[in-house]
């Protein structure tokens, strides 16, 4: 299967000052030069006159049959200012490339006045945010020029794709305003009803806890996994209901009253099938999505049907994703959500390993919010730090977070953009 970056919508445009733009290329490449680390790893670079986006001509890089070929086109843009924000945008189209996410490499390198890398010897920024536009893919990076930077080097590379070709076109580099903070307030409820008589009684207890502990106008309230079954002594199928159904109706009333989004775990009936489902309800009380738990442990597998996808949901404050309990044991759910642009991952959970849930936040550079029974209830940042916790039953962990904040790591730098470009999903582990 062809491994690609998942394409997702990439935000609203902001005013910008264009410093360089070119669509269409001819024999004169306008300062673009070929580069590779050494001659024996040089790919073939050329101007393709026919395949292009818009005006005729595109910059092309071919592996040329060389397994170790790495390199392509680069262009220097002088006059950048350290601490200033820039946007780098480029379109590409491929042929014979099997793993676009790590073999197609649009990058920014920053140089100081002496021609050395600014920001550290390993500092290179990848353009990873992508949107598919027919046969072409547009990728974009918005970043701050590091300390000491005076020149930006646009890099359009192909890596280790002996039979592959990548065509590059419509390149733009522009100065943009620094992003404003995007503040979002999240609440997560710690509650475990005991000796409940019904699913409806449980749901009412959760709703009352939120009404009591959470102020109006928070952006999202998270409830735990299986709120309709915990403490009832009933089986999954006995509390299963349709979606929409009675539980989503009650939660919808709460969402309207609090003017908030709500995410909660319940058991969904679809014909004879029963799913462990997390529902997403908007501020108007409508069900706008659902996530059916993909990874089921043995006790659930015997009674429930697993889901088969990792949807993300676009809210009025950002993109959120959901994974449920046992999903956090595996790396793929959180990774799939992050690749689709999730900024906030919601974890309704019964119980689980705290180290693994922390790892999911760090490795994917997302905020992670958990609501659990035998697992803590908290709001966590992309560095794995808990910004708020609710250790007592009936209480809420509430935190206001900035979804536009960048988290940079020494040596790894912008890990959120870097990881998708250096991950190898194409390497398959042999079956036993």
What would the pLDDT profile of 324-344 be if each residue is shown by its tens digit? 999 999 999 999 999 999 999
Cβ 172 vs Cβ 20: under 8 Å: yes
Indicate the fold that domain 183-402 takes in CATH: Nitrilase/N-carbamoyl-D-aminoacid amidohydrolase (3.60.110)
Higher-confidence residue: 17 or 219? 219
The vertex-142 CA angle with 94 and 35, nearest 5°, equals 50
Q: What is the pLDDT of residues 356-401, one digit of tens each?
A: 999 999 999 999 999 999 999 999 999 999 999 999 999 999 999 9
The tokens of 265 are what? 């775990």
List C-alpha distances in Å: 70 to 35, 36, 170, 411. 9, 6, 22, 22
Range from 160-174, 299-313, 336-350, 405-419 carrying the lowest mean pLDDT: 405-419
Where do the domains of the chain lie? 17-179, 183-402
pLDDT value at position 412? 79
Residue 196: predicted pLDDT: 85
Superfamily for domain range 17-179: Galactose-binding domain-like (2.60.120.260)
pLDDT tens digit string along 402-431? 999 999 887 778 888 888 889 898 898 887
Residue 330: Cβ-neighbour burial (10 angstroms; 0-12, 13-18, 19+): middle
Q: For position 5, what pLDDT does the model report?
A: 52
Q: How far apart are CA 102 and CA 124, in angstroms?
A: 14
Alpha helices in 34-134 (DSSP H): 100-103
The pair of three-digit structure tokens given for residue 141, joined into one six-digit string: 């990076």
Is residue 126's pLDDT more than 80?
yes
Provide the pLDDT for residue 246: 98
């Amino acid at each position: 299967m062809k491994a690609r970056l998942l394409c997702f919508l990439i935000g609203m445009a902001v005013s910008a000052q264009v410093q360089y733009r070119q669509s269409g290329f001819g024999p004169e490449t306008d300062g673009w030069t070929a580069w590779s680390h050494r001659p024996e790893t040089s790919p073939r670079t050329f101007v393709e006159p026919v395949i292009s986006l818009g005006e005729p001509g595109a910059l092309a890089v071919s592996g040329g049959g060389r397994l170790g070929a790495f390199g392509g086109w680069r262009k220097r843009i002088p006059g950048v200012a350290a601490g200033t924000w820039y946007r780098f945008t480029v379109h590409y189209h491929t042929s014979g490339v099997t793993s676009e996410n790590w073999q197609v490499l649009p990058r920014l390198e920053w140089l100081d006045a002496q021609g050395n890398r600014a920001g550290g010897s390993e500092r290179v920024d990848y353009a990873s945010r992508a949107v598919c536009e027919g046969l072409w893919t547009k990728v974009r990076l918005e970043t701050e020029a590091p300390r000491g930077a005076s020149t930006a080097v646009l890099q359009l590379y192909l890596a280790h794709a002996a039979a592959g070709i990548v065509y590059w076109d419509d390149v733009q580099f522009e100065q943009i305003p620094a992003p404003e903070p995007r503040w979002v307030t999240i609440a997560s409820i710690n509650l475990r009803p005991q000796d409940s008589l019904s699913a409806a009684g449980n749901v009412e207890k959760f709703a009352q806890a939120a009404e009591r502990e959470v102020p109006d106008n928070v952006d999202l309230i998270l409830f735990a996994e299986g709120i309709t079954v915990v403490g009832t002594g009933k089986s999954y199928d006995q509390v299963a209901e349709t979606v929409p159904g009675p539980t989503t109706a009650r939660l919808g009333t709460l969402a309207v009253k609090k003017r908030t989004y709500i995410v909660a775990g319940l058991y969904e009936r679809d014909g004879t099938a029963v799913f462990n489902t997390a529902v997403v309800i908007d501020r108007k009380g409508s069900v706008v999505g659902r996530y059916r738990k993909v990874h089921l442990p043995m006790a659930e597998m015997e009674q429930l049907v697993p889901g088969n996808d990792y949807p993300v949901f676009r809210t009025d404050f950002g993109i959120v994703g959901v994974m449920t309990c046992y999903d956090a044991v595996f790396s793929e759910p959180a990774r799939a959500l992050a690749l689709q642009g999730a900024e906030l991952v919601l974890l309704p959970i019964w119980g689980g390993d705290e180290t693994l849930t922390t790892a999911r936040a760090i490795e994917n550079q997302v905020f992670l919010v958990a609501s659990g029974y035998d697992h803590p209830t908290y709001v966590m940042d992309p560095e794995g730090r808990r910004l708020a916790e609710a250790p007592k039953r009936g209480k809420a962990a509430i935190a206001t977070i900035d979804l536009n904040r960048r988290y940079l790591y020494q040596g790894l730098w912008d890990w959120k953009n870097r990881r998708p470009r250096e991950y190898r999903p194409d390497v398959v582990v042999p079956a036993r």
